[in-house]
Every structure is written in C-alpha cells, then in structure tokens.
Structure 1
Amino acid sequence: MMGSGVATKSFALLCFLFLCGTSPSLQAEKHSLYYIYTALSKPLDLPGIHEFTAMGLLDDRQIDYYNSKDKRKIPTQQWMKEKMQEDYWEKGTQSRKSKEQWFNVNVHILMDRMRQKNDSDVHVLQWRHGCEVERNEGNKLNFSKGIDEYSYDGDNFLSFDDKESQWVAPVDAALPTKRKWDNVPILNQYTKGYLEKECVDWLNKFREYGDEELKKSSPPDVRVFAKKSTKDKTKLKFTCLATGFYPKDVMLNLRKYRTSMPDDEVESTGVRPNNDGTFQLRKSVDIKKDEEAEYDCFVFHSTLKEPIIEKWDGKCKDCNEGSFMVTEIVIGVVLVAVLVVVFIYLYETKRHGANGAV
C-alpha cells in the first residue's frame, strides 16, 4: 500500500493541477501506424524533393521510405531491417511503384477536373491511411480508430467514414470519386477490414519487433524567454520552448500567476519533429512590458513523474539592443575623432621633420 506521505503529496499535486486548470489528461496508452503518400504534378529541381514519396510511421517514427528517384522501399529503422525478410521489401517496392503510377495519373485527372490549365503551377495530391490502437484493462491493444483520407493542395478532398463504411466528400470536385467508390461495396468492405484488422495486426507485429527501441523515451527540455513584440511596442512576446521529448503527446501551458493564459491569445507552432526522432513545441503570448507579474511555463509529459514549471526571470532578451547600438555608434564616433587627431599630429610631425632635414 502507498505510504500516507506519498499519497498526500500525490493528492495535493492533483488538486493543484485541477485548481489551476492545467491537469494532465489521464489517457490510456495509445499507438499508431500510418502511411503517407505524396505526389507532385511535376518534378521540382530542388534537393530532397521528389515527384513521389511514401513513408511508414509507427508511433510517429519513420520505419520505411520510398521515392520516385531511387524506386526502392527501404527500412529506416535498424530493427525493421533485421526483422523483415527480403521478400517483404521486394513486395513493398512493387506496391509503391504501382501506387506511384496511380498517383501520377490521378493528380492530372484532378487538375483537369478543377480546370487548372497552367502547367507552370505545382499541385500536390496526398493520401494518409492507417490505424490507432489503445491498450485495455486486460493489457491487450484494441482497435481505436482508422484513418483513410486524401488531400489536394493542402485541403481536405475525400475521407472514409469507418463507422458508416462510406466515403465523405467535403468539396464538389470529390463527388464523382465518392459516387464511383461507394458503388463498389467490396472496395469499402476491404477498406474497413484493412483499417480495423490488417493494419492493427501489422502495428502489433511492428511494436513487438521494435519493442526495445520504441520503449526509449525522452523528457522535454524546457526554456522560457521574452523578446520585444513585433505587433505592439508596449508589449513583450513571452515564449516557452519544450524540445527533445518523445513520445509526441505533451501538455504545455503559458501561465500568469499560475493560471493558464486564454487559448485565443496564445500562438502555437504545433508539435514538430526534430531531426533525431524527438519532438518540439513552442508557444508564445504578448504581455505588457511594464507589468510586474509572475509568468511561468507548465509542461507535463508521460516521461515525467511531476510537471516541469519553468519561471520567467522577468528579463527581455533584445530590449536593450537599441541602447547598445547608440552606445556603439557614440564609441565609434569618438574613435574616429581620436584617429583623425592622431593622424593629423603624425602628419604634422612628419612634415616638420622632413622640412628640417632639407
């Protein structure tokens, strides 16, 4: 049984979090497997940008990759390379080659359907499909939800309603595709079966293979600072950066006197990937420059036993830059004046010395 001191501390912490409106969400353990395909309407002469790419993501970590230049599905995790047989990669390569052809045809069909005749413009067709699972009380991972959706030029185009087993078209241009696919019931049955069964089987298999690597987690490194606001000279932009954390889910709140700032006043970058497989999140809010108030950043992550609360020291990073510049200009003017005086003195001395020699 938990000791009374520990229990009291835990209860006090929970009460504190709830009273401040910043309680960490007590969610069940979740995992995800997604595949993302991206096709451009024409190639771009830019390094690392390909006309077609495809990748698999397990718990937000890339596990495989394919592009239209190399035309080969390859593992991006060592455990994937070790565990999956060569025929898996061969079949995967052939599958992605066929999808590349399908995308190349359909991105141009959509351009015609939307009357986009300017060949100099680049259009993007994307497909994301996969599943999420959740661990139940019996320690078993069960299907939670499936995603099968298309976007065109960054806007939602078509998505599959897993519960109703039908496609949803949010734009008129997608209606012909919706009608066509809904008229093939076996296609919708297959899509539902893949999301709820086959995808979950693969997810569980990959989780088992990469168990040790996927268990590695990383807590966030949290920093707070303030700079001059670019919108209002009477205000500062107070910012909190949390970086280096894994898994992806994190709670970050900017607070004044331990009360969370309103969401509509806070700017957020959203959670973004770092190049080492971890993630980062930055949030900012404008505050009054001359107001003496207590600001901090509250961060909670699954790797932490208790939240990180990073207090702002009240200092502004770039508020004195102007005065430094004036000081540097004054010093510069003085130095120039001194150099001019020295130059004149040396010149006159040299000139008189030379006249004397004659």
Structure 2
Amino acid sequence: MFRRRTSRDIVSSIIIMKVPAVVLLILGSVHLVSTESNCLSLLSMLISGETQLPELTIVVMINDVPVEYYDSDIKKFVSRRHWRKNDTIQETHLRNDVALHIHNSMKKELFILMKKCNETEGVHIFQGVAACDLENETLGKFFVVEAFDGEEKYQYDALTHTQNTLVPEFVWNEEKGNQRKAIFTNMYQPLCVRTLRRYLQEDKNILLRKERPRVRVIQKTEPHSGRTQVSCVATGFYPRRVNMTLLRDDRPVPDRELTGGEVLPNGDGTYQLRRSLSVSEEELRERHRYTCTVSHLSVDNKLDVSWEPEAPADPVLISAVLIAVLVLTALIITAIVLCRRRRHIGRQNDRPAVRYTAGQTE
C-alpha cells in the first residue's frame, strides 16, 4: 500500500537528488566492494539564503533505504521506517548531538567557502556524505565527502586519517588534526558501526532481502524516425545495485549508442532499469542478434535474454503467392458459376410438358 508523501519525504528526496555525481560514485563503489558489504551513509544538506526548506537536513540510509531523518526545525532524528511505526533505533540522543556538531561545522565551512568565492548573496548549498562500510563484519571503509554548490571540495578518509581538499583553509594543523582523529576514532566510528549492525539485525527482512529481476528485450517502432528501438529492461529487483549490458552479436554495444541507464524506484520498494538502442532499417536487415545480460546479487549467474529480427519477406515469393491465390480464387469462382448454370439447365430439362386446349388441360 502506498504511503502519502510528507514534506520530510520530499526534502529527503531533494537531498539525495542534489548529492553531486562524484559523491554518488564514491558511495556506489562502497556497495560494490563485496556481496557481503553493507553501508550506513549520512547525507546532509545546509542551505544559505531564503528558502522554504530547513537550514539543515540530514537523511540516514542503510544501503539504499532511508531509515532516519533530521532537520534543524525539529532538532531530533525521527524514524523513516514505514514498516515500523514511530520506532527509532537506540542512542538517538547521541545522534542528535552529532547532528548539532555537524550543523555547527558545516556553517563554519560554508561561510569560508562563500567568502572565498565572493558569493555572499543568494542561495547556496553545502552538502556532505559520511559513510561507513562493513565487509563481513569488518569495517572496510569510513569516509567523508563535502561539496559546495555541486562541486566537490573535500575528502577525508577516517580510517587512515588522511584528507584531500581543494580549499587551503580546510587543511588542519597538527592540533586540529589530532582533535578530528580522536572524534572520529572514539565517537563517530563506533556509533556508525553500532547503528548499522542494529538496523541490519532488527530489519534484516527489509534491508537484506533479495528480489530477483525480471528481464526482457522489447522492441517498438519510433513514431518520428521510423527506426526500431530495442530496449533491455530489468524490473522488480532489490537491492538497487545491478549491472546491465546490451550485446550485439555477443559484443557490448558502446555506451554512446545507448539511452537510459538510470535505476528508478518501483512503487513496491523494488527497482527498475532500462537501456535502449535505436536501430535503423539497414541494421535490421543485417539481422544482428541483441542480448540483454543482467547481473544481480539475487542470482548466481547472469540473466540473458535475446532477440533477433525476423527475416525480411522475399518480394518474388510474395508475388508468386499472390498470383497463385488470385488464380485459385478465379478457378473457384468459375467452378461455382458453371456448377450453378448446370443445375439450372438440369431443372429445366426435368420439368414435365403442359398442353392447353380450348377449355381443358391435359
């Protein structure tokens, strides 16, 4: 059953959609490290300027599922688990303190960036992604990425405690570096791991489920060009991570020839993906074989579905068939006419003669 979207749901979607592409690539690579990998990520967005949105919004996600929400108006984390009404995980007070610390830190960094870029007016967005990844119950990755108005400015590896920044003002001195190392080691890292494990334990039926994709190859005529669109479609799968390749005669079709490729949500909590290729009439006559191949955690082997254009009809053969049909039709009609004429003549010959006299019939 579908839930009505609240303003917090919409804000959560805005945060996820506005995360820079480089951040999503880094976050996506965490999930693809191992089939036994699970990730807790915290997506935050700080807005400077007049908008209808809260100044700070935060979404906590387990793998690709939003589980908690925070904004600077309500000043507390609330559950986004629609399968557990009003149920929040433990240690919310500690996470609320973390959110307050994030708010203060992001405000300082945003002020530095706006001043440095001479952008003190208008609406500006400062975003951050913090994520910890468990691989077979071992902390494999723990990092922070930050961006200003859609451009990445800062990275921090919280396991090796190394930073990479394009902003000299963000470079720590030894004292600040030791402080940041202590905070991440003694507070953020244990909290991230504990929260992730508890969610995976309490909601494993939701967060760790695997739904097998349904794969098919469909084709349709493009109304304006008359070309044929061949589409590889996978739907109904979970988790979100999936690999799809469209092959032409067992060779991958170059990405530049394809359209689509964005994983989209279905209404039932699963996902769908479509990649399409526009094929000319000449290519159809060449009768290439197109194969959609999909890899997903729910299946051991790749799923392959193929489609091959039908052989074009021979015009000489079509003409011969049409002539034969016409000749046969003419013969049938002629036979029917002759048969009816013979029957009519036969009935006339079999009719008895009648004579008439002056007042009597014989």
Give the TM-score, by structure 2 length.
0.64
Determine if the alignment matches structure 1 residue 304 to structure 2 residue 291: no
Structure-to-structure mapping, 1:133-212, within 5 angstroms = 133-135=134-136, 141-162=137-158, 164-169=160-165, 171=166, 174-180=167-173, 183-192=176-185, 197-212=190-205
- Alpha-carbon deviations, 1:125-177, whole Å to 9, x = none? 11111211112xxxxx11111121111112211011345422111x2xx2211
Q: CA deviation at 1:102?
A: 4.2
Distance 2:174 2:278 in 1: 49
Which of 273, 280, 302 is matched with 2:272 structurally? Answer: 280
Q: 1:264 to 1:182 in 2, by over 3 A?
A: farther
Determine if the alignment matches structure 1 residue 72 to structure 2 residue 66: no
Query: 1:214 is matched with which residue?
Result: 207
Secondary structure of the residue aligned to 1:240 is strand
**Would you say the 8 A contact 2:35–2:297 is kept in 1?**
no
Of 292-301 and 306-315, more deviation after overlay is shown by: 306-315
**Would you say the 8 A contact 1:298–1:310 is kept in 2?**
yes
Secondary structure of the residue aligned to 1:103 is helix
Secondary structure of the residue aligned to 1:179 is coil
- Alpha-carbon deviations, 1:234-259, whole Å to 9, x = none? 85543323233111221211011233
Q: 1:142 to 1:107 in 2, by over 3 A?
A: same
Distance 1:164 1:274 in 2: 39
Query: 2:99 is matched with which residue?
Result: 96
Of 153-162 and 93-102, more deviation after overlay is shown by: 93-102
Distance 2:176 2:100 in 1: 27
Distance 2:144 2:110 in 1: 18
Q: 1:83 to 1:90 in 2, by over 3 A?
A: closer
Query: 1:132 is matched with which residue?
Result: 133
Determine if the alignment matches structure 1 residue 59 to structure 2 residue 60: no
**Would you say the 8 A contact 2:89–2:195 is kept in 1?**
no
Of 269-278 and 55-64, more deviation after overlay is shown by: 269-278
Q: CA deviation at 1:278?
A: 2.7
Distance 2:181 2:33 in 1: 34
Of 90-99 and 246-255, more deviation after overlay is shown by: 90-99
Q: CA deviation at 1:188?
A: 2.4
Query: 1:109 is matched with which residue?
Result: 112
Aligned residues: 275
Secondary structure of the residue aligned to 2:282 is coil
- Alpha-carbon deviations, 1:189-235, whole Å to 9, x = none? 432555654422332222112223323322223343346679x9585
- Alpha-carbon deviations, 1:86-127, whole Å to 9, x = none? xx334434543453354345423321111114x23x321111
- For 1:133, the aligned partner's letter is L
Query: 2:39 is matched with which residue?
Result: 32
- For 2:58, the aligned partner's letter is A
Q: Which runs of 5+ in 2 are unaligned?
A: 1-31, 311-362
Distance 1:276 1:159 in 2: 35
**Would you say the 8 A contact 2:62–2:207 is kept in 1?**
no
Q: Which runs of 5+ in 1 are unaligned?
A: 1-24, 136-140, 316-358
Distance 1:53 1:125 in 2: 11
Query: 1:138 is matched with which residue?
Result: none
Q: 1:282 to 1:41 in 2, by over 3 A?
A: farther
Q: Equivalent pairs: percent with the same residue?
A: 22
Secondary structure of the residue aligned to 2:241 is coil
Give the TM-score, by structure 1 length.
0.65
Distance 1:81 1:107 in 2: 33
Q: 1:211 to 1:39 in 2, by over 3 A?
A: same
Distance 2:69 2:156 in 1: 24
- Alpha-carbon deviations, 1:14-68, whole Å to 9, x = none? xxxxxxxxxxx994411111111011222434xxx54421011112111101124
Distance 1:168 1:128 in 2: 15
- For 1:112, the aligned partner's letter is K
Distance 2:117 2:222 in 1: 42
Determine if the alignment matches structure 1 residue 244 to structure 2 residue 236: yes
**Would you say the 8 A contact 1:235–1:289 is kept in 2?**
yes
Query: 1:347 is matched with which residue?
Result: none
- For 2:168, the aligned partner's letter is L
Of 32-41 and 302-311, more deviation after overlay is shown by: 302-311
Q: 1:31 to 1:97 in 2, by over 3 A?
A: same
**Would you say the 8 A contact 1:229–1:237 is kept in 2?**
yes
- Aligned-residue CA RMSD in angstroms? 3.3
Distance 1:152 1:294 in 2: 46
